[in-house]
């Protein structure tokens, strides 16, 4: 689940470049990583994944315990076969029983390995589906805010460049609307309308060079 909680999504909404030449740009920033962590559904997803992991571990431990018991039975049969007082007929019978148990435990070992691999894959897929669903819900709320406030650009403050440098090195406080996104998500509604939201920061458009 660590991966689930540590996931960060870059949300960048860009309008046509012609906007740069038409006037000021309305820019907003959002910390997608914080929105992801503080969304109630993320915490619920973490609980579900942990429950699934615990259930898989319990089932795996039960299979491992059965395997251990079967191995102990084989070892006991091997000890009995080494007893000098054992008759030839008894030795033949126990040798046959041991060989059958060896065949059975090999099958059990294969099933345990397949079970472990299958459960690991299922848990990874479940975590991925939950993360993708949560990311989509967050992105939808961000887009509602973009439309409501007529924003031109939105940057993810939690994003990092390939050089490990923050993609957004500075932004005005009134440009960020992470709190509104988190509140809207946990309330189950849409993002606050433009009138109720903090004013978006504006960036003058670059002048055209002759």
What does the pLDDT look like over 149-187, one tens digit per residue?
A: 898 888 888 877 777 777 777 777 778 888 999 999 998
Q: How far is residue 87 CA from its own chain's centroid? A: 61
Average pLDDT for 103-113: 94
pLDDT digits (tens, 9 = 90+) for 64-98: 999 999 999 999 999 888 888 888 888 889 899 99
The pLDDT of residue 165 is 74
What is the overall mean pLDDT for the chain? 79
Distances (CA, A) of 129 to 4, 45, 126, 186: 10, 10, 5, 20
Average pLDDT for 45-51: 94
Average pLDDT for 26-50: 92
Domain boundaries, the chain: 2-203
The pLDDT of residue 153 is 87
């Amino acid at each position: 689940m660590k991966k689930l909680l540590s996931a960060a999504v870059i949300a960048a909404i860009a309008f046509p470049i012609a906007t740069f030449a038409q006037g000021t740009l309305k820019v907003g920033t959002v910390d997608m990583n914080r929105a992801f962590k503080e969304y109630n559904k993320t915490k619920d997803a973490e609980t579900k994944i942990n429950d699934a992991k615990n259930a898989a571990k319990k089932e795996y431990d039960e299979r491992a315990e059965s395997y251990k018991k079967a191995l102990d039975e084989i070892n006991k049969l091997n000890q009995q076969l080494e007893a000098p007082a054992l008759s030839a007929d008894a030795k033949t019978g126990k040798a046959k029983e041991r060989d059958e148990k060896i065949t059975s435990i090999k099958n059990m070992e294969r099933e345990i390995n397949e079970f472990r691999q299958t459960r690991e894959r299922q848990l990874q897929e479940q975590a991925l589906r939950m993360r993708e669903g949560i990311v989509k819900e967050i992105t939808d709320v961000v887009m509602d805010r973009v439309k409501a406030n007529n924003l031109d650009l939105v940057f993810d403050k939690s994003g990092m460049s390939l050089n490990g440098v923050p993609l957004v090195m500075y932004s005005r406080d009134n440009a960020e609307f992470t709190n509104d996104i988190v509140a809207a998500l946990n309330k189950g509604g849409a993002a606050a309308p433009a009138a109720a939201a903090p004013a978006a920061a504006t960036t003058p458009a670059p002048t055209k060079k002759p």
